[in-house]
Amino acid sequence: MKTHATTILTVRHRGVAAVGGDGQVTVGNTIMKADVNKLRRLMDNKIITGFAGATADAFALLERFEAKLKDYPSNVPRAATELAKEWRTDRVLRRLEAMLVVVDARHTLLVTGNGDVVQPSDGVLGIGSGGNFAMAAARALIAHSNLGAVEIVRTSLEIAAGIDIYTNANIVVEEIKCET
């Protein structure tokens, strides 16, 4: 699924999980809004989600994911898997065009409508039209700088904003402490 209109990046580094997103909403090739927050905290701020794709679709998925979290409160991967199964098999949900990044103290997950629940082996995950640019920048910064997770996410998103026309530099970054 090729998703335009945003970039979401998450990095786990030095005991911190940071999630960031740009603020641009694009309809076709028109910028409609420049300062949207595409991150949401769930479950008493213990989980951070980021979304890319159609906004209404993403909010519908966030509501469903929150319901799954209530069914499986201490098992984020199970809640994500149950959402992915429902998303893939339900006639209405199947048409939704969005992707979710889900981060808690132990997990970083990508959840898609194809039934995917993927946890990156290096803790770096990017989605949206600038996701690959941001991921490449983040991996380079992890390997060749002394920056922390929040700074890596912010700098990587700024780099992506300079390359991808669907990403802007109005960046919001959230963080949580990782469990060891």
Domain boundaries, the chain: 7-170
Instruction: Identify whether 167 is a catalytic site residue.
Output: no
The rounded distance, in Å, linking the Cα atoms of 69 and 159 is: 34
CATH hierarchy code of domain 7-170: 3.60.20.10
pTM (two decimals) = 0.93
Catalytic residue among 3, 6, 26, 49: 6
pLDDT tens digits for range 11-59:
999 999 999 999 998 888 888 899 999 999 999 999 999 998 878 788 8
pLDDT tens digits for range 65-111:
999 999 998 899 999 999 998 888 877 777 777 889 999 999 999 99
Q: For the sheet with 124-128, list strands across it.
A: 124-128, 7-13, 16-21, 172-177
